[in-house]
Amino acid sequence: MSSTVGATVRATAGGSTALTGYAIQSTARVPDTAASVSSPGFPTVGWHRAARRSTVLAALVADGTYPDPFYSTDQQHIPAREFAVPWWYRSDFVLTGAGARTHLDFSGVVSAADVYLNGRRIADAGTTAGLYRRHDIDVTKLVHAGVNTVAFRVRPNDPRKHFTLGWLDWLQPPPDANMGIVRDVLVRRSGPVTLHDAHVLNHLSVPSLARAELTVKAQVRNDSEVAATTTVTAVVSPTGPARTAAADSTPLASPAPSSTSSAPPVDVTTRGGGRIVMRQRVTLRPGEARTLVFDPGRYPHLRLHRPKVWWPADMGAQNLYRLDLTATAAGRLSDAVGHPFGIRDIKAPLNAAGARQYAVNGRPLLIRGGGWSADELLRWDTVAAEDRIEAALDAGLNTLRLEGHIEPDEFFELADRHGILTLPGWECCDKWEAQVNHVDTGEQWTSADRVTARASMASEAARLRDHPSVLSFLVGSDYPPDLRTEKDYLDVLRAADWRTPVVPAASDVTTSPSGPSGMHMTGPYDWVPPAYWYDKREGGASGFNSETSAGPSIPTLDTLRRTLSPAELDTLWTKPSAPQYHRSPSPVFSTLALFNDALAHRYGPPRSLADYTAKAQLAQYENVRAQFEAYARNATDTTAPATGVIYWMFNSGWTSLHWQLVDRYLDLGGAYYGAKKANEPLHIQYSYDGASVTVINRRPGPATRLRADITLAGMDGGTRYHRVVSDIRVAGGGAKITVLTLPSHAGGPSGTYLARLILTDRSGREVSRNVYWLSSRPDTLDYGATDWYHTPTTSYADLTGLGSLPPTAVTATAHTTHHADATSTTTVTLRNPGVGQGGTGPPALMTDVHLVDRNGAPVLPVRWSDNHVTLWPGETTTLTATYRTRALRHGLPRVRLSGWNTPTSDVVPGRSCGSASSC
């Protein structure tokens, strides 16, 4: 490509413009000097184009230099030697207007860069090191009206040596190790006075929530060479549905009165919760910076009556406010900053058992979370991220943990808006833990490294502190920092007015500055049976388990065919102990041996790829469901209650067979629907440890006059046991009640059987349905042989009887409605007609409903009201699927039905228009 003009940066005080993208090239192919490369007009013929946030490899994949590294082993064919030298990132921008000061504001450099502007070096790699470290460089004297050029000579990355990120045992790491620039580089314009570090502290009265006191802080700095008098105006206002029509009309940039050097504050508010406007006037010496405080003592309107409180999604509304500040000097706007914030209270004391118990706005909650992964090439896609956040919420999760891969601002804005909590923190097993982690070591820290670590903590604290979705910061993961480092972190956090809890590590540790972590990291990370989760030892349901799951997660057959070559697909089911490239680079997790061995023992050896995948979906459904159900059941125990669980992991950064509730394409399978079932707001469940049937109510208020219908059946559909329990009452807020315990003989003398649990409300409406496949022979665990990643199973439950379920043809009718908001809904009614006039016969087990196009490819993403459902003969259920209309591509979708014992068939739905549509 030739040299092109990029972003246009206007001389608007308070304006901030992101560079639009880069020309990039290996320094091995550029013999020119840095001064030449960073000067306007330098030719970039033959260079690659990179987006405004891009690693080197992401750019080379986007322009077709290398094929999709997510398919088969194609990533292995990308030569790592290409990324062993620095790469140039070069961008032009145009400055318009005169008289404004100009700053270059950036973070997200992996791993570090020498930075040049218009032929002059303005920063070196020693000062720009660190992905999370923010840099703000005054370049006023180096820029001019017209075309300017900035160039970054980006150094190679090694997570063992640099404060960046790695992929640990999550996935096969990219050959460029993510070198590049992965956050926006901003060109900011201002007048002589600039604003920095603006934030809001809130103190909420708990539990009444009747009052909140706000304190606004911001630093004002005189960047000019003469004294300057400035008026700083701070405005706090509700946003979204909380905003009122009546608002103060005082202009934000109005000059201060000139008669005094320190004007009294001006408070303006509207009844019912409108804008609060406050001003302070200050005179600053050249180069002087001062922190201004707007507190309730001087500004009583910062004492809010009945504030609009922010809640997690399943607890209330996601109300937000906005802070806007302006600085004026000599009667003109000099700078402006602003961002949303939320009013909420988070506490995380240790309970009597020493576990961390989170409470939001005075209400304790069980953390039901998942580990979040960034894209392997660190490509940011707001739509894709929002789809995943919505999928997490739909599965009943309330928290996402970000270990080291701390996403850009848009992620936390989405989390605030959707009401999902976040647990960011530093990464294990590389440079971040080099001082303390003697199992997976990075290089030991130098004095310069300590500067980088402190600066990284300061930058992230300032960025995250006003996001109401942030639940805590974990300054350690597998290990806590050493004493000196932890004190550094805590000092930085205090200086940043960080108010949410700080946790010393995600593992079970105690440090002198912070005390006990209140968390444990006991695994497992590989296959264990469903019953494992009910024991209150190792990773079972007690306390706060910061990362745990039964390991492998085989995606749907559609996704497998998009991920693996035909030969790899054959190996997947015929060679159970073979290494799997799409599992993990770790020798511990490189195969699916434990999972495949359990699958063959419990369900029977696979007969085909389709049979293997079907058995995997059943195994993942029952296991994930049991994990979340066990933690929910034990949450209200008086002894060693469960307080939190992070499923490891929610998603993967690439196409994976490993640690994921959702796959790369959001083609949802057994693991996801097991979580969605377990996390229903009002839920009936079976307990593997004592055969009890329990109702759990996560709704705020009590549920009364419920009716539980419990049936056990054999493979022929015949009833082995049936009971009805009526007039059930269960309190809200996660309370539980055991409605009955099944007798030991209920399932029959031997073999496999099914349990159907149905919960109906006072009107007879079904509110929860749950079906289990069980064995009279339990899984047996050898706890004495437990290691860091699993507990061995010495004998397995016998679920092979499921193979004798006769085929059952489920019938379906479907109807699609298009809506004015560019979404569509397909409603599907399923029925198991059974056989004979009496509707007798076997259940249709785990019936899966997929929307597909005319070529049979899945329509994605889709949000189903329920899926993987089991229907007894004569039963009917109606499911809804919501998706973007444009995902259809080829007219109306087809509905593809399949199931454990249901032959695959297609249904073409009818069509109608939504009430606001004119299709």
Q: How far apart are CA 129 and CA 868, in angstroms?
A: 48
Q: How far apart are CA 310 and CA 329, in angstroms?
A: 36
CA 371, 633, 771, 708 torsion-angle sign: negative
The catalytically annotated residue of 478, 558, 629, 779 is: 478
**Pairing mode, if any, of strands 87-95 and 7-9?**
parallel
Environment class of 345 (CB within 10 Å of its CB; exposed 0-12, middle 13-18, buried 19+): buried
3-class DSSP state of 531: helix
**Pairing mode, if any, of strands 894-898 and 502-503?**
unpaired
Block residue for tokens 């509707």: 839
CA 252, chain centre distance (Å): 36
Q: How far apart are CA 463 and CA 105, in angstroms?
A: 14
CA 695, 700, 705, 709 torsion-angle sign: negative
| Dihedral in degrees, nearest 10, Cα atoms 467, 468, 469, 472 | 90
Work out the number of other CB atoms within 10 angstroms of the CB of residue 308.
Answer: 20
In sequence order, what are the beta bridge partners of 582?
Answer: none
Closest CA relative to residue 554, chosen from 464, 707, 669:
669
Task: Give catalytic status of residue 136 as yes or no.
Answer: no
Block residue for tokens 């008289």: 99
Q: Integer distance in angstroms from the first to the last C-alpha of the chain?
A: 44
Q: How far apart are CA 903 and CA 897, in angstroms?
A: 8
Q: How far apart are CA 313 and CA 764, in angstroms?
A: 28
Report how far apart, in Å, the C-alpha atoms of 884 and of each of 120, 393, 860 are.
49, 18, 8
Q: How far apart are CA 210 and CA 345, in angstroms?
A: 13
- Residues 342, 316: contact at Cβ < 8 Å? no
Q: How far apart are CA 583 and CA 590, in angstroms?
A: 6
Task: Give catalytic status of residue 478 as yes or no.
Answer: yes
If you ran DSSP here, which 8-state letter would residue 445 be given?
A: P
If you ran DSSP here, which 8-state letter would residue 622 be given?
A: H
In sequence order, what are the beta bridge partners of 898?
Answer: 848
Strands (E), 636-781: 642-647, 682-686, 692-697, 703-713, 719-730, 735-741, 752-760, 766-775, 780-781
The catalytically annotated residue of 547, 663, 667, 798 is: 547
Question: Which residues carry out catalysis?
Answer: 478, 547
